[in-house]
Copies of this chain bind each other. A is one copy, B any other.
Amino acid sequence: MFKKVLIAEDMEDINKGVHTLLTELGVTQIKQVQYCDDAYLKIKKGVLNNEPFQLLITDLSFKADHRSQKYPSGEVLVEKLKSEFPTLKVIVYSVEDRLQPVRNLFNKHGIDAYVCKSRSGLKNLTIAITKVFSGVTFLSNEVSSAFNSINELEIDDYDISLLDNLSKGLSQEEISALYIENHIVPASLSSIEKRLNKLRIQFNAHNAIHLVAIVKDLGLI
- Chain A interface (Cβ within 8 Å of chain B)? 10-14, 16-18, 34, 61, 63, 65, 95, 97, 116-119, 121-122, 142, 166-171, 205-210, 212-213, 216-217
19 contacts between A and B (CB under 8 A): A10-B118, A12-B121, A12-B122, A13-B17, A13-B122, A14-B14, A61-B95, A63-B97, A63-B118, A63-B142, A65-B118, A65-B119, A167-B213, A169-B205, A169-B209, A212-B212, A213-B213, A213-B216, A216-B216
**Are the CB atoms of A11 and B118 closer together than 8 Å?**
yes
* Chain B residues, Cβ within 8 Å of A121: 11-13
**Are the CB atoms of A13 and B10 closer together than 8 Å?**
no
* Chain B residues, Cβ within 8 Å of A116: 63
How many of these chains are in the complex? 2
A209-B208 contact in complex given A65-B119, A216-B216, C-beta closer than 8 Å: yes
**Are the CB atoms of A10 and B119 closer together than 8 Å?**
yes
In Å, the complex CA distance between A116 and B171 comes to 37
* Chain B residues, Cβ within 8 Å of A16: 13, 17
* Chain B residues, Cβ within 8 Å of A12: 17, 119, 121-122
In Å, the complex CA distance between A212 and B34 comes to 34
**Are the CB atoms of B209 and A167 closer together than 8 Å?**
yes
**Are the CB atoms of B13 and A207 closer together than 8 Å?**
no
In Å, the complex CA distance between A168 and B206 comes to 8
* Chain B residues, Cβ within 8 Å of A167: 209-210, 213
In Å, the complex CA distance between A121 and B16 comes to 14
**Are the CB atoms of A209 and B212 closer together than 8 Å?**
yes
* Chain B residues, Cβ within 8 Å of A142: 63
A63-B169 contact in complex given A13-B13, A212-B209, C-beta closer than 8 Å: no
Partner of A34, one of B11, B95, B119, B209: B119
The residue among A119, A171, A217 with the most chain B CB atoms within 10 A of its own CB is: A119
Nearest opposing residue in chain B for A213, CB measure: B167
Nearest opposing residue in chain B for A10, CB measure: B119
In Å, the complex CA distance between A66 and B168 comes to 38
In Å, the complex CA distance between A169 and B34 comes to 41
* Chain B residues, Cβ within 8 Å of A11: 14, 117-119, 121
